[in-house]
Amino acid sequence: MLASALEKDAATRFSFTAAFYAELHPYCLEHLKRAFNQRTQLFDQRLHNRVWGLVNGTENSSSTAMVLIALSRAGIDTTSELPLDVPRVLDALTALHRSEVYRETLGLLAWANAVWDGIALPDLLGSLGLSLRQLPSLTAPFKSSELAWLVSGLAHEHNRSGDPAVLATLQSLLKLLETRQHQRTHLFYHGTASAPLQMRWRRHVGTFADQIYGIQAFSFATLALNNATYRRRADACAAQITGLQGPLGQWWWHYDARTGRVLQAYPVYSVHQHGMAPMGLMALAAAGGGVHVEAIRQSHAWQDRNELGAAMTDRQARTMWRDIEVDEGSLARSQRKLRSVLGMAQEGAGQKARLTIRYDTWPYEWAWCLYAAAIVGSTAPALHLI
C-alpha cells in the first residue's frame, strides 16, 4: 500500500500530474511493444536518430529490468496490453548476469525478480555462482546509482520474503551507500576511493542518476526497515538538488559532491524530467519526507517549455526525445569533462546557441514514465514498497 504521506491526500498533492501522464501512457505502451525483441526475450530495441535499432552495452539488461518493474507497478496486463511471458523474460535477464559485465545491474534483476515473485534471491544468486554474503564486496567498482539499485532490489526482496540473510545483506549495503554521501553537501559521489582508476579520478562528479536513485533507495529502506535515519538522508539530498534545479525546471547532469555545485548542466534528459525525478521525489514523500510538489510541476513543464522552446514530447512521433545537449565535437566534449573533473563549474550560461536535441528514446525511459505515473495513480501492489 502507499505510505501515509502519499496515501492520505495524493489526489490533491499530485493531482496536477494526472493529465500529463495520461497523455504519455499510450505512447509508452506503443513503443515498449516495439522495443521488445521476441528472439532475445529482452527489451533491447531503441529509437536512435528516429530509427529503430539495438541498444548499446548493458542497456539490454537495465532497460529490461526497469520495464519489468514498471509493468508490475503500473498493473499492465502482460497477456493483452503488452503481451509477453514474464518468467521467460526473467530467465533471459538472469542469463545475461552469468557474465561479470552485467554485475552492475544485479540490483535491478533482484528488484524485478522480487516484484514479479520470482525464485528466492539466494537461489537466483546461486544460479549465477554468487551468494548474498558476496554482494557487498562486489560493489567497489559500482557507480553510486548501481549500488542504489542493489539497495532497492534487496529492500523489495526483504519486503517479499522477510529472509534474515537478505536483511543482513541489505543493512551492509546501506552502510556502503551512506559512505558515498557527502556529510556536508548531502550529494552522492559517483564512485569510491577504491574504484578502478577510470572512475576514481572523477569520483566527486556525481551524476543526477547517482542522486535520484540514492534518494529512492533510502526512501525504500525507510519503509522496508521502518528507520527514519534513511529518510533524513534522502531528504537532505533532495533538498540540495531541488535547490539547484534550473529556472525552467531542469535537472542538471553533473554535480560536485564536495562543494554542492553544478559542474555540467547539459545534457538535460527528458527521462529525468518526466520519470526519474518525479518517481524519486514521490518515493521520498511516501516515506514521510519532503513533498516537492513545485519541483515536480516544473520538471514536467520543461517537456514543452524549455530553453529551446521545443516540444520534447513529440505528439507526432508519440515519444519523448532523449535530451537537450551541447552540440560539440569529441575534443570539446572531452575538454568539458576534464573541467568537471578539475572542479571547474560550468552551469551552461551562454550555451543556448549551441544546444540541440538528441532524437533517441531508450526502453527504460518509457518504463520509468509508466512507473512514476503509477506511484500517484494507483495503490501499490503487495510486492511493491511504494
Least confident of 10-24, 264-278, 286-300: 10-24
Give the rounded distance of the alpha carbon of 106 from its chain centre.
Answer: 14
pLDDT of residue 75: 96
Question: What average pLDDT does the chain have?
Answer: 92
Classified as helix, coil or strand, 262 is strand
- Please answer whether residues 354 and 38 qualify as being in contact, where contact means their C-beta atoms are separated by less than 8 angstroms: no
CATH code of domain 4-377: 1.50.10.10
pLDDT of residue 339: 62
pLDDT of residue 331: 56
Residue ranges per domain, the chain?
A: 4-377
* C-alpha distances in Å from residue 75, one per residue of 45, 67, 69, 259: 22, 12, 10, 42
Per-residue model confidence as pLDDT tens digits over 305-347: 999 999 999 999 999 999 999 986 665 555 566 566 555 556 5
Per-residue model confidence as pLDDT tens digits over 27-78: 999 999 999 999 999 999 999 999 999 999 999 999 999 999 999 999 999 9
Q: Which amino acid is at 183?
A: Q
pTM recorded for the entire structure: 0.94
Give the C-alpha separation, 111 to 164, whole Å. 17
pLDDT band at residue 194 using 50, 70 and 90 as cut-offs = confident
Give the rounded distance of the alpha carbon of 24 from its chain centre.
Answer: 18
Q: Provide the 10 A C-beta neighbour count for residue 291.
A: 18
Over residues 135-140, mean pLDDT: 97
Own/partner pairs for 1-5, CB < 8 Å, 24+ apart? 1/379, 1/380, 2/286, 2/375, 2/379, 2/380, 2/386, 3/223, 3/286, 3/287, 3/288, 3/386, 4/288, 5/285, 5/286, 5/287, 5/288, 5/289, 5/291
